């Protein structure tokens, strides 16, 4: 059985909990987070989701994403999952949030209030093979090009979050 997710309303106020798969089967709004990490050259660390993930297997996406556990702070959850999925941790800060809904061919629906975190890291990346098939650092311009030429190779939430996080990164210099 998968862990529970935090069901929320449109203002991100908790309204209950539900087992993760059931929430995705019913398409109910729940809290999530996405972590975007860049190196000192401003290149973004992307992960290719493991092929056997419950949805979006084999697609490229941001460094790490998941759901906080009931009673868990979003930032603490982001640090926990960054270590579990990618084998490292770094300083993170929340930069924005957004809500999205995406239906998948397997009948599951992501309907998430997504908190977006940003960090910088230049050390070793040791991904969990059960979660991550591959990793790579790419420049923001290379990612923009791939989103135009190979859009189906990226997750739906990456398409939505990338323009705003890229603008944030570029503003930071």
Q: Is 74 helix (H, G, I), strand (E, B) or coil?
A: helix
CA 65 to chain centre: 3
Burial per residue of 21-43, b for 16 or more beta-carbon CB atoms within 10 angstroms, e otherwise: eebbeeebbbbbbbbbbbeeeeb
Task: Give the residue numbers annotated as catalytic, written as ranges.
Answer: 65, 112
Q: What are phi and psi of 35, to 5 degrees?
A: -110, 130
Q: What are phi and psi of 163, to 5 degrees?
A: -55, -40
């Amino acid at each position: 059985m998968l862990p529970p997710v935090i069901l929320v309303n449109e203002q991100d106020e908790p309204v209950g909990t539900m087992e993760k798969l059931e929430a995705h089967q019913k398409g109910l709004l729940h809290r999530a987070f996405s972590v975007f990490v860049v190196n000192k050259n401003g290149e973004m660390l992307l992960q290719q989701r493991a092929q056997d993930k419950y949805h979006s297997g084999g697609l490229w996406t941001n460094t790490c994403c998941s759901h906080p556990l009931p009673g868990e702070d979003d930032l603490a959850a982001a640090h926990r999952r960054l270590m579990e999925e990618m084998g490292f941790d770094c300083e993170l800060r929340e930069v924005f949030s957004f809500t999205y809904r995406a239906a998948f061919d397997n009948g599951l629906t992501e309907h998430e209030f997504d908190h977006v975190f940003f960090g910088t890291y230049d050390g070793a990346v040791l991904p969990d093979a059960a979660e991550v098939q591959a990793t790579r650092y790419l420049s923001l311009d290379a990612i923009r090009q791939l989103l135009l030429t190979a859009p189906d190779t990226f997750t739906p939430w990456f398409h939505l979050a990338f323009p705003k996080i890229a603008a944030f990164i570029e503003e930071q210099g």
